[in-house]
Amino acid sequence: MNMQKQIIMHTTRTLEVLKSILHSKSLKLSYSKENFCIGNKKISSAAHPMVCFCECNENDLPNRVITYGRYGVAFSIDWALRKRVSPVLYIDENSLAAKGLEKLLRARQNKENSKLPDNLRLPIMEIKCFTKNVRGYNSYCNQDNFYFKIENEWRYVPRKSDIDGKLISQNQSTYIKKQDFYNKKA
């Protein structure tokens, strides 16, 4: 019986970046711009520090289309779980999960009029950092209605304590103005 081994891969666009990863024996956090939408309504437009991976079967690698780069380094699922790397939760915009997350994000955004306790503000963002629309605009491919689920994405998102209390979520427009600044801080 041929057992298929599931792995996660971190991919990159260039061989030079892959060599840098192998030489440093580390992966670098960088901010990723993420939108959470319901229909044409943008509910959240943020940037989160993370390292992204895609889950795949090692036997399928020769034929697998990987969205974000041609070069990669593979890790076992056991390694990922030990390092707090977690699969992304893909949400259809019409689902109860999407409507629930929308309400939580709206309550968090409306700080003055919200009855949301302060101790729930961070957990909402921690959930949001691991949430992605099933379909949407992919800026890397410049493609509308991209089916993100095919990526089988996993993410490492640091805890605030891992990054000296810095934010795990930044407003996207603020981030865009100072991308180099924020990525150096991560």
**Half-sphere exposure of residue 146: CA atoms within 13 angstroms, side-chain side:** 15
- Name which residue leads in pLDDT, 68 or 127: 127
Q: Evaluate whether residue 122 is within a structural domain.
A: yes
Q: Could you give phi then psi for residue 34, rounded to 5 degrees?
A: -135, 130
Q: How many CB atoms within 10 Å of residue 69? A: 16
Judged against a pLDDT cut of 80, whether residue 64 lies above it is answered with no
* Whole-number pLDDT of residue 138: 86
Dihedral class, residue 165 (left if φ above 0, else alpha if ψ from -120 to 50, else beta): left
Question: Domain limits at 56?
Answer: 6-177
Percent over 90 (pLDDT), the chain: 56
Judged against a pLDDT cut of 70, whether residue 167 lies above it is answered with yes
* Whole-number pLDDT of residue 62: 74
* Whole-number pLDDT of residue 1: 45
Q: Evaluate whether residue 186 is within a structural domain.
A: no
Cα separation values, 83 from 52, 77, 78, 100, 154, Å: 13, 10, 9, 28, 12
Q: Evaluate whether residue 94 is within a structural domain.
A: yes
Q: Evaluate whether residue 170 is within a structural domain.
A: yes
User: Would you list the DSSP string of 25-57?
Assistant: T----EEEEEEEEETTEEEEEEEEEEEEEEEEE
Could you report the per-residue pLDDT of 114-148, keeping only the tens digit for each? 788 889 989 999 999 999 999 988 888 888 899 99
Q: How many CB atoms within 10 Å of residue 36? A: 21
Q: Which alpha helices (H) appear in the chain, and where do they start and end? A: 15-24, 77-82, 96-109, 121-128, 172-177, 179-185
- Please give the tally of structural domains in the chain: 1
Instruction: Please state whether the predicted TM-score (pTM) of the whole model is above 0.75.
Output: yes
* Whole-number pLDDT of residue 171: 87
Q: Evaluate whether residue 85 is within a structural domain.
A: yes
Q: Work out the pLDDT band at 149, boundaries 50, 70, 90.
A: very high
Cα separation values, 171 from 3, 15, 97, Å: 44, 31, 22
Q: What share of the chain is helix, strand, coil (3-state, %, to 5)?
A: 35, 35, 30
Q: Which amino acid is at 109?
A: Q
- Name which residue leads in pLDDT, 39 or 156: 156
Q: Work out the pLDDT band at 3, boundaries 50, 70, 90.
A: low
Q: Evaluate whether residue 149 is within a structural domain.
A: yes
**Average confidence (pLDDT) over 156-160:** 92
Q: Evaluate whether residue 184 is within a structural domain.
A: no
Structure tokens at 121: 């503000």
Q: Evaluate whether residue 185 is within a structural domain.
A: no
Rounded Cα–Cα distance for residues 107 and 110 (Å): 5
